[in-house]
Amino acid sequence: MTYCVGISLKAGLVLVSDSRTNAGTDQVSQYGKMHTLGLEGDRQFVLLSAGNLATTQAVLAEIRHELADNPDCKIAKARYLDEVADHIGEISRQQQSRFSDGEGLNAGFSPRVSFILGGQIQDEAPGIHLIYPEGNHITTSMATPFLQIGETKYGKPILDRILTPDTSLEDATRCALVSMDSTMQSNVSVGPPIEVLIYERDSLRFNRYLRLDDGHSYLRDIRESWSRNIRQAFDALPRFNWEITGPPPGE
């Protein structure tokens, strides 16, 4: 599996993804799921991917060929981010349909992929879209400034509790890393290295990229700190009334 999260803030975008791919327990390997595209100063995009690896690579190859072969292609010229999401959704549908034969060859096989597209086109606001395997897509809202793909549930509570559109880029990054750490603790199919991309609004270039492998000091620090802090948070919870009732005074 996979876990990727994209966060859209007033200050910009934060994107975080894991790097574990598996096709059965004896075929676990590392593949980055974060792919950047764009033209510095004009438009920047990043794609996070979850699902079938062959389809993902086919979609990315088609996008890269388009950008290389046709300077006027959709991705290079679209006015709006949702047009780019539409276009990637179409490519994804086509690639999936090439390899799915319904009730055919292999009943357990699924060519499906989901993407998170983040980015900004000059003169437009930055944003994030979740592109479903069906090719349609959704974006964030004020109440829900984040989107997730892959193993989304383990890490959702902390995002729900912390994130608002006013959260700083750094706090949002920490929150995504805690969300990722909780997911890795509870599910072995999600694993390091963790890739982090931070985009400051209107910069039209990717400002910070971190690749945190298992031994990375910051990943270790945040993991140990969170584990300790959560334990303290837990120990500070109110007691039940029967725990408070002690022996009568004077004894």
Nearest to 150 by CA among 20, 12, 9, 62: 20
SS3 content of the chain, % helix, strand, coil (to 5): 35, 25, 40
The DSSP bridge pattern shows strands 137-139 and 146-150 to be unpaired
| Closer of 48 and 176 to its own copies (Cβ) | 176
Residue 107 sits in the site that holds its own copies (CB under 8 A): no
Residue 190 sits in the site that holds its own copies (CB under 8 A): no
| Closer of 79 and 205 to its own copies (Cβ) | 205
Is residue 43 a contact partner of residue 229, using CB atoms and an 8 Å limit? no
Nearest to 196 by CA among 9, 29, 4: 4
Contact window for its own copies (CB under 8 A) among 61-69, 88-96, 136-144, 235-243: 235-243
Residue 227 sits in the site that holds its own copies (CB under 8 A): yes
Sheet bearing 43-51, strands edge to edge: 34-39, 43-51, 113-121, 127-131, 137-139
By CB under 8 A, name the one of 174, 191, 194, 204 that touches its own copies: 174
Minimum distance, C-beta of residue 123 to its own copies, in the bound complex (Å): 28
Residue ranges that bind its own copies, judged by CB under 8 A: 151, 153-158, 160-162, 170-171, 173-175, 178, 182-183, 185-186, 208, 218, 221-222, 225-227, 229-234, 236-243
